[in-house]
Structure 1
């Protein structure tokens, strides 16, 4: 399940709780589009803002709504104790894989992080995906640390935060990491701006934010890249430059995609946990214009 398009849906929520109906509809849309896997409760899914009970409930809803599409959920938490509890509960509701970010308040060192993955890998029975995203966890993996972790039981994929924009540099970056990890461990690119160049450079998966809302658009890029049609994948990705520009303008993809979900009627406003807010005013009009012009689906 660690190849192709892994679509990461929002978890619509407000101060009263999770909008279960809206979340279920989002997951059903992904299953209908035949994405390769669903990554619930990732950063796009707002896992850090939910209680353990809420996260278990969302994992259950995702599994129920996904049908035959395998579901992966994040088990990131500040304490290893809580990570293990989340892993146990997620496995009980039937997830097929676990996504593990090294969440911290105090700064973690490499041995802290290795110990986390070592402990979790020894206490789970489903595959693990390593979540490498310094923008949210504030921890930077080295390729050497990835290599050590990739040797652990159940570790099956590494979700890297992006690649250099130049194709030859992207290929060098992916090949360096590939040389340090076992052949059965896949490399998946995240950071949607880098998806096409990452897959063209050898990444086997795309862990996608826009795929969680506009799966057909993301699938077209994924299928082109993984079939070897680098030119078409690049063309389709470059067509989305106005969307990538919005990500840069508003400090990342999360608020933009959440705003787009409200605009398209997938979710109700408000759909983010306070103090986070979707984009209003002229910015909201910009987003509406771009997603309509690009005919995202």
Structure 2
């Protein structure tokens, strides 16, 4: 479950309602590319903007499409209250997910003990593995390695979705090795923030939790396979080719850029995001026009869609 490429697609909206046809199309492209796993309702999937019923339906759609190809699905169960997290966990497990993703989201800042209590209570009610979602940019909560270690020792906790690694290869390896000293043997460390995908895998991470993988899975799989085979320079070379997209992600956030790309490629209708969120202006994609054409050709996206 926690290895290779875990692709995180958008959950497109149309007139403030989940666009099930567009969502199904995105999932189908991931299934056809045979990604290693699919992560639904992460930050790119807008989990905090949906109610329980919407999240249940989205999860069921993803599992239903992926199960024929035996591609595991992980769904976010993050919410403000433990009561709601447990309800979402029950729904996700009934839908057939192979893992759940949990971030310590809160309106009031959480203490370390409150965060540990969240994971301790939730894991007592799980029958599938859990991935810890470490995302200080959105949750404003910063995990220490010691807290990661305590949580990693809980039953069912099997992975951490890290917020990137240092850009320097030596420092990246040191960061990954330092954290490995706190978690059990065989525990899966995953890297997110897409510009650090290659660096994280080369540094010893097991899985890349990727936004771009939800749009261009074949491209991202190529990068992952190079890293897994020890071809570190090739993985970095592919990542460097994607630098114009990483730059847009840095300026605007992956969600707004991914939504704009999906609209441009005809994979979703505007605005795709739940109001008041909005994708970046299409004019801002002009600087990556050539790259999008190259990636679309590589992915088999019809040229007519990008004109």
Which bracket does the TM-score occupy, shorter chain normalised? over 0.9
Greater Cα offset, 193-202 or 278-287: 278-287
Render the CA deviation track for 1:214-239: whole Å, top value 9, x for unaligned. Answer: 00111011010011111111111111
Over 3 Å counting, the alpha-carbon distance change for 1:281 and 1:129 in structure 2 is closer
Q: Separation in 1 of the partners of 2:151 and 2:291?
A: 40
Could you report, residue by residue, the CA deviation over 1:89-124 in whole angstroms, capped at 9, with x for unpaired residues? 110111110000111110011001000000011111
Q: Is the 8 A contact 2:264 2:282 kept in 1?
A: no
Alpha-carbon offset, residue 249 of structure 1: 2.6
Cα distance in structure 2, aligned partners of 1:33 and 1:70: 14
Moved more, 14-23 or 67-76: 14-23
Counterparts of 1:1-297 in structure 2 under 5 Å? 1-67=1-67, 68-250=70-252, 252-280=253-281, 282-295=283-296, 297=299
Q: Which runs of 5+ in 1 are unaligned?
A: none
Measure, in 2, the Cα distance between the counterparts of 1:291 and 1:136.
Answer: 28
Q: Do the aligned residues in 1 keep the contact of 2:14 with 2:269 (CA within 8 Å)?
A: no
CA contact 2:130–2:159 (8 Å) conserved in 1: yes
**Larger mean Cα displacement after TM superposition, 57-66 or 14-23:** 14-23
3-state secondary structure, aligned to 1:5? strand
**Measured at CA, do residues 131 and 153 of structure 1 come closer, stay the same or move farther in structure 2, by a change above 3 Å?**
same
| Mapped partners of 2:212, 2:177: distance in 1 | 26
Aligned length: 296
- Quote the offset at 1:285 in angstroms: 3.1
User: Once the 2 structures are TM-superposed, how far is the Cα of residue 269 of structure 1 from its aligned partner?
Assistant: 1.1
1:289 is displaced (CA, Å) by 4.5
Contact map agreement 1:262 1:271 (CA 8 A) in 2: yes
Cα distance in 1 for partners of 2:213, 2:3 equals: 14
CA distance in 1, matches of 2:86, 2:240: 41
RMSD: 1.2
- Alpha-carbon separation, structure 2, partners of 1:268 and 1:4: 30
Distance between the aligned counterparts of 1:287 and 1:273, measured in 2? 25
Q: In 1, distance between residues paired with 2:183 and 2:15?
A: 42
Q: Report the TM-score when normalising by structure 1.
A: 0.97
Describe the SS at the equivalent of 1:85: helix
Q: Secondary structure at the match of 1:159?
A: strand
